[in-house]
Structure 1
Amino acid sequence: MITLHGQEIEVDIASELRRYDWNRPRWTDTKLLACSPFRPERHPSFAIRLDTGVWIDSGGDDPEWKKGNLPRLLSWLRNETYEETVDYLLTQYGVHTTDVDSLQLKMRPLSMETESWTPLHPDILVPYRYRHPYLEKQRGLSEQIQRFFNIGYDRKRKAITFPWQDRSGHLVNIKYRSVRDKIFWYQTGGQPIRNHIYGLNHVIRLQKELMFIVESEIDAITLWEAGYGAVALGGAHLSARQRDLIIQSPVKEVVIATDNDLPGRRLADSIIRQLGGYLSLRVMEIPEYAKDVNELPRDVLLHACQSLRDVELGRPRDSVLAPFIAVHRP
């Protein structure tokens, strides 16, 4: 049982956690013990209670990430803002009471409205006009491509800054990624990530008809560096708004290049279900030794980008998941 906005809700915490890959997990009736998801480690020092969602990362150095609640952990795992995760939990598990007589069937049309939120002022990026060697030395992203995406560095908090823009190019949020570990967070007051797609403004401006879809900003930038238009959803979820933005774009063909893990396969399946029939869909196969496109050597990445598999609509729903589940079935 957890409390959100003053409402006590019964969350299936174990089910939520099993959606993700854990390093050296050990499940008991009351808690999960595993290696920290926030940083590399060999010996498990992370524990979360399955009744309350309270977690402790006893081996962590950052005091802000030594302990926390379920929404904070899930916001990290889902790669979204804290507020978006709270909305998800309330929608998924909250108690809703409605006057049955007042219910009406509503068809959701393709949303054509523009974002009603106020964009962030571009000057908010001025303090981050610095460069950290992490992306070039460890992720292989050149200075030129970092300038193209206006990547910066927060020297005070030691974090790479990834500006998120709406389809028109207005600044709507900033993702901060620590260079010391895997921790990230978003700009206070920024718009929900689920309402936008990273890199879509460039796809629209350059009138790209073929577009790769990935999960993280770094993966999208990696594909642009290789010469291919790409966007990032910001996590392993395709929202209804993101779906509409893709359909409204000039893109005619989508290549699914999600992470090579269970959440990534689930996302690929979701993309096929939501975009099938609207656009031509293909899948890029990532070799088993790599988790995502950024981990591929340049020659392997280029070959994979040219060796795509067509998606045949009408196949069983779990057709993308099946090979992965067969290998990883507990």
Structure 2
Amino acid sequence: MPNIPVNGRQVDVDITAELSQYEWTRARWTSDKLLSASPFRADNHPSFMANLDGEYAGTWLDSGAIDPDYSSGNFTKLLAFLRDESYEEAAEYLIETYAAPEQSDSFTMPALQLAEGPRQPIVIDEAIIGSHRGISEYLRDERGITEKIQRFFGVGSTGSAVLLPWRHADGRLATVKYRRTDSKLFWYARDAEPVKRCVFGIDKIWRRAASDARFKQAVICEGEIDAMSFYVAGMPAIATGGANVTQRQIDLIRASPLEHVILAADNDEAGAKWAKALTEGLRGHVRLSKITVPGVKDSNEYAVNGGDLAGLEREPIRAVTLSLR
């Protein structure tokens, strides 16, 4: 495996295996390169190149980049985008997965430390949304998210980006995801709670379940816009923010008032792994079902193309191993 720098450490990373988990448009794989259409924007030409091996392993180039920050970069930056998480979270994943424990020739007895108690969640100021709070024409006109559902989630808009608030279970603001409207690029609020320690929409479940039994059942999706699409169809939903599920997210769902969770995976390999991880993590804690969105990549695409999300058949999950069909 190639040796690449990750947060100041040299780490042997299986770049090809990591990138193979995702769908690439017009992809051509060689022994040391991946050539494809750009993952960062709507593109049908092989304008993107990632080095899989050699001296420049992990680096990538997008020759038609809209945003100069995404014209080139290192592997951690690319993986953060693909995993739908922050740069810091992607670096942590690579080190935990591939790095050997740091060694030292000398041994020093560690200082005795008292337990600090439970970790306190990070809460950020609502003012970060502030004047940006309002209706996104992009979400309404291109993604089919009604003004009512946008107000329900408190989304914001800068014109060029949509602001998607992620909240703790008690409703306090944990982080904000900014998503460009002219590309697939996104970023998160600084000095906020890591997104993989949150579940999008879990605060709505806690707030409503005691008085409305419909909120004891929810669809779970990868993306926030998919979850909002189910709300448009009249079905409560939550999202993990990408295809990588953490134990913290599973614990948040287990602790919630949810009694029935319906998995709506994206139709790709990463989506199958996402569904398997949730099935294994939630089995025995909630009733589990799944729905299959036919012919398209995800739930929002199905809805935008006239599909009825509420009319999809629900199939009980009885086996741990899931396969796409």
1:54-133 alignment, distance < 5 Å: 54-96=59-101, 116-133=120-137
After superposition, the C-alpha distances for 1:15-46 in whole angstroms (9 at most, x for unaligned) are 10001111111111111100000112221000
After superposition, the C-alpha distances for 1:192-220 in whole angstroms (9 at most, x for unaligned) are 11111000000111112111110111011
Distance 1:272 1:145 in 2: 28
1:237-316 alignment, distance < 5 Å: 237-287=244-294, 289-297=295-303, 300-304=308-312, 307-312=313-318, 315=319
The answer as to 2:181 corresponding to 1:182 is no
CA drift at 1:300 = 2.4
Contact kept, 8 Å, 1:214 with 1:232, in 2: the verdict is yes
After superposition, the C-alpha distances for 1:59-109 in whole angstroms (9 at most, x for unaligned) are 11211110011011111100011100000000001111589xxxxxxxxxx
After superposition, the C-alpha distances for 1:259-280 in whole angstroms (9 at most, x for unaligned) are 1111111111111111112111
One-letter code aligned to 1:276: R
Contact kept, 8 Å, 1:160 with 1:176, in 2: the verdict is yes
CA drift at 1:223 = 0.9
Residue equivalent to 2:224: 217
Distance 2:158 2:140 in 1: 16
Q: How has the CA–CA distance of structure 1 residues 114 and 137 changed in structure 2, closer, same or farther, with 3 Å as cutoff? A: farther
Distance 1:26 1:192 in 2: 34
CA drift at 1:114 = 7.0
Paired-residue identity, %: 37
Q: How has the CA–CA distance of structure 1 residues 291 and 114 changed in structure 2, closer, same or farther, with 3 Å as cutoff? A: farther
Question: Which structure 1 residue ranges, 5 or more long, are not aligned?
Answer: 100-112, 325-330
CA drift at 1:118 = 3.0
One-letter code aligned to 2:240: L
Residue equivalent to 2:240: 233
Distance 1:95 1:251 in 2: 39
**SS class of match (1:296):** helix
**SS class of match (2:129):** helix
Q: How has the CA–CA distance of structure 1 residues 250 and 114 changed in structure 2, closer, same or farther, with 3 Å as cutoff? A: farther
1:125-144 alignment, distance < 5 Å: 125-144=129-148
Distance 2:94 2:282 in 1: 25
One-letter code aligned to 1:30: D
One-letter code aligned to 1:281: L
One-letter code aligned to 2:90: T
Contact kept, 8 Å, 2:61 with 2:71, in 1: the verdict is yes
Number of corresponding residues:
301
Point out the more displaced range, 190-199 or 293-302: 293-302
The one of 147, 152, 155 aligned to 1:148: 152
Contact kept, 8 Å, 1:127 with 1:154, in 2: the verdict is no
Distance 2:62 2:129 in 1: 31
Distance 2:204 2:137 in 1: 24
**SS class of match (1:43):** coil
CA drift at 1:238 = 1.6
Contact kept, 8 Å, 1:256 with 1:282, in 2: the verdict is yes
One-letter code aligned to 2:308: V
Across the aligned residues of Structure 1 and Structure 2, the Cα RMSD in angstroms comes to 1.7
Contact kept, 8 Å, 1:176 with 1:185, in 2: the verdict is yes
One-letter code aligned to 1:183: L
Contact kept, 8 Å, 1:282 with 1:311, in 2: the verdict is yes
Distance 1:248 1:98 in 2: 38
